[in-house]
Amino acid sequence: MDQENQNLSQKELYDLKHQEKERQTKANHRKSSTKRILIWLVALLTLGGAIFGMVKLAGNAPSNSTGPVDAVSATDWARGNKDSKAILIEYSDFQCPACGFYFPIVKKLTEDYQDKLVFVSRNFPLQQHANARPAAYAAEAAGKQGKYWEMHDLVFNNQSQWSGAPNAKEIFTDYAKSLNLNLEQFTNEAGSNAIKDRVDNDYQSGIRAGVNSTPTFFLNGKQIKPTNYDEFRNLIEQAIKANP
Partner 1 sequence: MTNLETLSNKQSKPIPNWLTALFLAISLIGFLNATYLTAKYFLKTPINCYLSGGCEKVTTSQYATVYGIPIALLGAIYYLLLFVLVFIYYDTNNQRVLKFAAWLTFIGLFVSLVLLYLQFFVIKAICTYCVASAIDSILLFIIGLIILNCTLEKTSN
Site of interaction with partner 1 (CB under 8 A)? 36, 39-40, 43, 46-47, 50-51, 53-55, 57-62, 65-66, 68, 197, 200-201, 204-205, 207-209
Query: Which of these, 87, 229, 77, lies nearest to 153 by C-alpha position?
Result: 77
When the beta carbons of 16 and 50 are compared against partner 1, the nearer one is: 50
Please, where are the H alpha helices in 79-219? 97-112, 132-144, 148-157, 159-162, 168-178, 183-190, 193-208
Q: Which is nearer to partner 1, 32 or 185 (CB)?
A: 32
Of residues 45 and 165, the one with the C-beta less far from partner 1? 45
Q: Are 214 and 126 in contact (CB under 8 A)?
A: yes
Please give the Cα distance from 123 to 65 (Å, whole number): 12
Q: Shortest distance, CB of residue 238 to partner 1, whole angstroms?
A: 25
Strand partners, 117: 86
Report in angstroms how near the CB of residue 68 gets to partner 1 at its nearest.
Answer: 7
Q: Which is nearer to partner 1, 61 or 98 (CB)?
A: 61
How far apart are CB 94 and partner 1 at their closest, in Å? 21
For the bound state, the minimum distance from the C-beta of residue 42 to partner 1, rounded and expressed in Å, comes to 8
d(CA 181, CA 148): 11
